Structure 1
Amino acid sequence: MNKRRMPRVFSIRITIISLFIVAIVVPFLFFSYYTNSKSIEGISSANTSFSMESLFQKTKALEDYLMGINYRANDVLTLPKIEALLNQNPGNEQEQRAFASSMATLLEEQQNLLDVRKLQFYPIDLENYPEYQKNDGANISREPWFGSIKENGEPEWKLFLPQDNYYLYPEPVISRIKRVDNTSTNKPIGIFTIDIPVENIKTFIEGTQGQEGQQTFLLDENGFVIYHRHKELIGANYDSPELHHLINEKAAGTETFNIEGSKSLVSFVKLHQIPWTMVSSIPLDTLTKPIKKISQLTYIFLVIYILFGLSIIFYITYYFTNPIVRLVRSMRMLENGNFKIALPASKREDEVGMLYRGFNRMVQKIQELIEEVYSSAKIKKELEFQVLSHQINPHFLYNTLESIRWKAEQHRMVEISEMVESLGNLLRLSLNQGMELTTVRREIEQVKAYVRIEKARFGKPVKIIWMINESIMDMPILRLLLQPLVENAIHHGIRENPESGKIVLLGKREGNDLVFELSDNGVGIPERTLQQLNQTLQKESTVDKGSKGVGLFNVSKRLELYFGEHYRLQISVEHGKGTRIIIRHPVLPANNDTGTIA
């Protein structure tokens, strides 16, 4: 026979470790990841809202500033002195010099009022004015932007760098370029430029000091940098296809992508009246820096927690599971029939020690029980032999009673004959061929046989009224239910006054139950006796043979055992007026002829 392989002691330890990982470590890691991602999401969302609101404010302030300069420049062009000077058409060199001097004086005055870098006027046919701005305007007429605005007349904002063929400023400037038409002929007469240093818009774009790594810059409609903190980027095409794609699709928005070599949260807003876009970017590392510190502390705590937990697990498995494994091994030996085993004595006062001592006591008790069962089996065999040798054949008893009845009839002793006949019927119906079930009809015959015997004993009539519904007479019922009740009514109800005493037995069907009600008009059961009887009916154990109500208790207990507590006897008493007992019995299948209850 193959021995069952014992599980290794480490299997329980591995199970506990696995449960520890599944129940604690995995949820802890998931919770850490979830809170970290949600924190980043929340910070990004908050920063997005803040960035967008800040960008909207900055774009509005910048646009108000630039358009304010534009509006004031328009006012300058409508001044009477400027308008009169523009309507002149200088011819010779002397007139051109006078025109240039007068225009320069007027523009310088307005330039200081506008607070701009330079306010300049170029005649539309600049090549016809050789004396006008010889130093810095000689080649302006050849610039593409000059020819473009000369032709279409659309004003524009343009960035000029120091290396461009314009005013050689040491810093980049933003120019508002606008064509001027004659108010009488509507013909173009010149082009005005208003130069603003790029540094002038710095405060509108950068504002207060932002977070570490945060950058805010300005792009034109072609993706060239108008302003950037890093001056070397001004005028260059900003190298970010994703950003250009977003700007072309939306007027404002926020996305996360790589920009300037790091993954950043990028927000942008387009200006309404100027085709520029203000962009703000902040590296995600800057946003998540506080969370990373928390995450590091969390991971350190998790490692310490796991090490501490594993130490506890190893302690538990070594101190508790090893003794349990030894106990299981001994139990397996006990299963194989080896009762001569004993665990080593344990002085531990915990549950393990109690298990060890309990197992040893159990093994000892099993050995004692085996010996006791063996002895009891031997005695039982002897008793069975004695019972078999002393059994009386019921047919012999029936034949003997029949012979007594026949002798009584021969000697014309009718009472003896009837009494013996009733006793024989009572015995036959009570035994019921060893079957537990009988019918209502046979049960009523048994009760009637018992009543005839009692009449003969008393020498006085016993008045019983039978009110049994014929439809239930052939229904199955437990045997010996009604006779103990009638016996109780005769002996404790009407025995003292049989002449006026009366017993009524009612039988009917109510739904799925058979209901039998036995009532008498005797003196009734005393209150104290009734309480004792009810308490007896509620007990789980049997009563003493000498106690009152043994028959009632047996009937109630049989009904309860077979059909449940709902079918206990119901006893009610009106002192001086009699007793009423109700039996409820479930309706059983009519074809149940086995004598057993399914």
Structure 2
Amino acid sequence: MRPKGKVRNMARLIGLLIPATLRTRLFMAFILLIFFPFSILNLYNFQEVKNVMQQKASEQSHEQLEKMIQDLKNFMSLSFKTTIMLEQDSTVLSILKSPQNYSPLERKHQIEDKFKTINNSFFFNGPQVYYTLIDYYGNAYTSYQPMESIHAEALTREDWFVSLKSGQPYRWISNDPNYVHPDASKSPELLSLTARLSDMYQVPYGVARVSLDYSFWFKNITRDPSINQDFYIITQNGEVIAESRSDAGLPIESLKADLHSAADGYVIDKGSNSILNYSYIDSAGWYMVSKMSLDFLFQEMEAMKRRFFITMLLSTTLFIGATYVVSLAMTRPLQMLQKRMAQAVRLDMKAAFPTSQLKGEVLDLTLTFNKMIHDANELIQRLKMEERQKEAVRFQMLLTQMNPHFLLNTLNTVKWIAIRKEIPEIREICISLGTLLETSLNSKMEMIHLQDELQLVKAYEYIQSFKYKNQFHVEYLLSDQVKYALVPKLCLQPLVENSILHGFDGMEEQGFIRIRVYAEDKYLVMEIEDNGVGLNPEHQSTPLRKREGIGMKNINERLKLLFKSEASLEVLSLNQGTLVRMRFPLLISEPFREGERRHVEGFIG
């Protein structure tokens, strides 16, 4: 299919989609230009607000996570300070370094008193902390009831004890299995700090283990019911090791892809419709995670959105009803006006529309229609009158054509008499005069070739030469380029006649008339120059006749009718004689030859 055909089909399809009635167009304009854009804009604004709220909620959740992490780090820092205090305590140093100086019960009571003092000083409001001290003599001291009997020899074989003994000063164990009796702690694992104890000379004399019950701490810190979130502690492998609620499932698969890529961030889980915020605990190698339901976060906003769209739908319904009433009030007069227009066509434009009950634009339209009917009737009457006048003029022209035809037939009779009588001068005069009359009678042709116009001038020159006994001479100056130029019929003969009758009147010397024709840009210029008495009335023996004014006026009006403002006619007075110049568009029309295609050209080329 051609591109124009596709464009046409597309335009036809668009035309079918556009409503035909004004009422429907008003409704569609409201839906397309107001309702839809306004709805889309508000949906966009609601979405932007949701994004901002989501970002703010994520930032607040991260702040809360950072506070919890900082709280945990503070306890871990206290644990580290506790090991330093134990290391620097003289009683602990003496008992662990020289246990033989004390009885077993005395050692036990003094070490336990130290544990109680530390707990009351640092961990009074904190998580449960469990202490273990081991010397290099096979003695172990604890602040708790162990799940099983503690054997110092067994503890010295564990990895953390071996690494400390080999030179490592301390070590954090984030997944230390719980060794405390279930009556004291039910957590599966503990966060333990193990450290080597050395005297002032850096000579090791024992090992300390300080364990935090982070599950107990986690449940206490997330127990606030005003916090509408669930919290979790997970490992780098995605294993959940602590959670605020046992029934709060964590969509761990949504987090696994981001756990190793960033220390902090958030993920939107579409399955649970929640936002998951996470922060990394570098000292323990864990992630603290919070889960917040988006339904709860956007609950008020969704309610506001529903109220907005319900209100908008109600407003749209009311507007459509009002639009229908208003459009009905507008279209009913228009429909009546349409019927009146159809009636005016049937009644030949003789119907008017009453305006007593109309107002506004419909009244203006009706008044305009009534004026159009009135003007149309006047125009019809004027056209009818002009048509009758044209018929009368045509009839008069038919009557006036009878006399020239009679004269032409009479000339033909005189010509044949001159031929029989062998009078050549009369025969030639009749032929020339017949040519002029025949051309003037041809009303179908207003423009003729220049060479044909010059033949008419020569015919008139020949007739006048008998009257004036060759007292004047006509000179023709033109090129072959313009001989087929189209000129108004009989535009040169009246001007030559003026030169002969009025220019040479009373002259004793030989008169001459120079006809000069040439092309100037896209115009044809024709000049008739004579050496007569000129335009000064004092030099003329007889006054100008009316015929001269009629001829010039006729030529000027014909030029204006044919060429409008592009033609001009001017009469110039010379030192001796007169110059008449005509100027109008150059039109070339060469005669048709067989096998050729010709057309009128605007200029010579």
- Find the partner of 2:41 among 31, 37, 48: 31
Q: Deviations over 1:114-151 (max 9, x none)?
A: 6676462243899x547x4496136275999x956457
The 1:481/1:401 distance shift into structure 2, 3 A limit, reads: closer
Q: 1:480 is matched with which residue: 464, 486, 489?
A: 489
Residues 83, 307 of structure 1: CA spacing in aligned structure 2 closer, same or farther, 3 A cutoff?
same
1:223/1:238 contact within 8 Å kept: no
Q: Aligned residue for 2:567? A: 569
Among 186, 189, 192, the alignment partner of 1:176 is 192
Relative to 1, partners in 2 of residues 1:366 and 1:339: Cα closer, same or farther, differing over 3 Å?
A: same
Q: How many corresponding residue pairs?
A: 545
Structure 2 residue matching 1:28: 3-state secondary structure: helix
Is it true that 1:255 corresponds to 2:267 in the alignment?
A: yes
TM-score scaled by length of structure 1:
0.64
The equivalent of 2:286 in structure 1 is 276
Aligned mates of 2:472, 2:72 — CA distance in 1: 123
Distance 1:461 1:366, change over 3 A: same
Asked whether the 8 Å contact 2:474–2:513 carries over to 1, the reply is: yes
Q: Does 1:192 align with 2:209?
A: yes
Indicate if the aligned counterparts of 1:507 and 1:516 stay in contact, CA closer than 8 A.
Answer: yes
SS at match of 1:270: strand
Question: 1:445, CA displacement in angstroms?
Answer: 3.3
**Matched residue type, 1:155:** W
The 5 Å alignment of 1:122-141 reads 122-123=133-134, 129=139, 132-133=141-142, 136-137=145-146, 139=148
Distance in structure 1 (CA, Å) of the matches to 2:60 and 2:291: 9
1:554 matched to 2:546: no
Bigger drift between 324-333 and 374-383 goes to 374-383
Alpha-carbon distance in 2 for matches of 1:336, 1:293? 63
Q: 1:309 aligns with which of 319, 325, 343?
A: 319
State the distance in 1 between where 2:89 and 2:497 align.
139
Residues 418-445 of structure 1, C-alpha deviations (whole Å, 9 max, x = no match):
6655443344455668345543432443
Aligned CA RMSD, in angstroms, stands at: 6.1
Q: Secondary structure at the match of 1:155?
A: strand
Tell me the distance in 2 between the aligned counterparts of 1:368 and 1:270: 95
Distance 2:144 2:69 in 1: 38
Matches of 1:113 and 1:133 in 2, distance apart? 18
Q: SS of the residue aligned with 1:123?
A: strand
CA contact (8 A) 2:87 2:197 kept: no
Contact 1:108 1:119 in 2 (8 A): no
Give the letter aligned to residue 191 of structure 2: S
What are the equivalent positions in structure 2 for 1:279-290 lying under 5 Å apart?
279-285=289-295, 288=298
What does residue 584 of structure 1 align with?
585
Question: Any unmatched runs of 5+ in structure 1?
Answer: 1-9, 527-544
Secondary structure, aligned partner of 2:192: strand
Q: Which amino acid aligns with 2:294?
A: L
Question: CA contact under 8 A between 1:119 and 1:194: conserved in structure 2?
Answer: yes
> Deviation of residue 470 (structure 1)?
1.4
Instruction: Give distance in 1, aligned partners of 2:27 and 2:433.
Output: 78
Query: Residue 257 and residue 413 in structure 1: after superposition, are their counterparts in 2 closer, same or farther (change >3 A)?
Result: same
Matched letter for residue 582 of structure 1: R
Displacement of 1:182 after TM fit? 8.3
**Residue 326 (structure 1) aligns with:** 336
**80 and 336 in structure 1: CA distance in 2 versus 1, 3 angstrom threshold:** same
Q: What SS does structure 2 have at the residue aligned with 1:508?
A: strand
In terms of mean alpha carbon deviation, does 191-200 or 319-328 score higher? 191-200
For 1:6-155, list aligned pairs within 5 A: 13-45=23-55, 48=58, 50-51=59-60, 54=63, 58=67, 61=70, 65=74, 68-69=77-78, 72=81, 75-76=84-85, 79=88, 81=90, 88=97, 90=99, 96-97=104-105, 99-101=107-109, 103-104=111-112, 118=129, 120-123=131-134, 129=139, 132-133=141-142, 136-137=145-146, 139=148, 149-150=160-161, 155=172
**1:240 is the counterpart of 2:240:** no
Number of the residue aligned with 2:546: none
* 1:471 partnered with 2:495: no
Cα separation, 1, equivalents of 2:560 and 2:318: 64
Out of 295-304 and 16-25, give the one that drifted further. 295-304
Query: 1:192 deviation in Å?
Result: 1.0
Paired residue secondary structure (1:120)? strand
Q: Give the TM-score normalised by the residue count of structure 2.
A: 0.64
Once residues 344 and 331 of structure 2 are traced to their aligned partners in structure 1, the CA distance between those partners, rounded to angstroms, is 19
Q: Is the 8 A contact 1:506 1:517 kept in 2?
A: yes
Does the CA-based 8 Å contact 1:464-1:505 persist in structure 2?
A: no
Distance (whole Å) between structure 1 residues aligned to residue 502 and residue 189 of structure 2:
128
- State the alpha-carbon separation in 2 of the partners of residues 28 and 167 from structure 1: 65
User: What is the deviation of 1:299?
Assistant: 3.1
Equivalent pair of 1:218/1:225 in contact (CA under 8 Å): yes
Distance 2:410 2:110 in 1: 165
Cα distance 1:270–1:572, how it changes in 2: closer, same or farther (>3 A)? farther
Greater relative contact order (CA < 8 Å, ≥ 6 in sequence): 1
Q: How far 1:274 moved relative to its partner?
A: 2.7
The residue type paired with residue 239 of structure 1 is: L
> SS in structure 1 opposite 2:586?
strand
Equivalent residue, structure 2, for 1:540: none
Structure 2 CA distance for aligned equivalents of residues 82 and 451 of structure 1: 159
Aligned partner of 1:157 in structure 2 is 174
| Residues 32-72 of structure 1: per-residue CA shift (max 9 Å, x gap) | 32332333334435655x45874796588467646644654
Cα distance in structure 1, aligned partners of 2:413 and 2:92: 161
What pairs with 1:459-538 in structure 2 (closer than 5 Å)?
Answer: 466-474=476-484, 477=486, 479-480=488-489, 483=492, 505-508=516-519, 510=521, 513=522, 515-516=524-525, 518=527
1:282-309: per-residue Cα shift (whole Å, max 9, x none)? 4435654675576456435534542443
State the SS of the aligned residue for 2:36: helix
Aligned residue for 1:315, secondary structure, equals helix
Q: Does structure 2 retain, via aligned residues, the 8 Å contact 1:517–1:581?
A: yes
Residue among 455, 472, 481 paired with 1:445: 455
Structure 2 unmatched ranges of 5 or more:
1-19, 165-170, 537-548
Q: 2:358 matched to which residue of 1? A: 348
Shift of 1:361: 7.7
Residues 1:224 and 2:245 are matched in the alignment: no
Contact 1:87-1:182 within 8 A present in 2 as well: no
Could you tell which deviates more after superposition, 55-64 or 551-560? Answer: 55-64
Mapped to 1, the partners of 2:505 and 2:54 lie a distance apart of 101
- The structural deviation recorded for 1:491 is 10
